[in-house]
Amino acid sequence: MAKIPGLSFSLKRAIGISGFKNKVARKVGIPTTKQGLERKIGGTILKTIFGKKK
């Protein structure tokens, strides 16, 4: 089967899992991706060490 450039299919998106996870993450304030979670934790640690910017 040949791939068509620019066309992809995601079962999770089709079912609505991605949208649901995104909605929950926004409401709770905790990212569901590994990279997002690392950024959130890193920012929290830096705020604790250096304090908030004014």
Say which residue the tokens 């060490």 belong to: 49
Structurally, the chain folds into a number of domains equal to 1
Is the pLDDT higher at 37 or at 6? 37
Decide if 38 is inside a domain: yes
Question: Is residue 29 in a domain?
Answer: yes
Question: How does residue 8 score in pLDDT terms, banded at 50, 70 and 90?
Answer: confident
Residues 6+ apart with CB under 8 A from 37: 30, 31
Residue 2: inside a domain, yes or no? Answer: no
Instruction: Establish if 6 belongs to a structural domain.
Output: no
Q: Which domain holds residue 39?
A: 14-50
User: pLDDT at residue 35 above 90?
Assistant: yes
Average the pLDDT over 20-40 and give the result.
91
pLDDT at 32: 86
| Higher pLDDT, residue 42 or 1 | 42
Residue 11 CA to residue 13 CA, distance in Å, equals 5
Q: Has residue 49 got a pLDDT over 80?
A: yes
Let me know if residue 24 belongs to a domain: yes
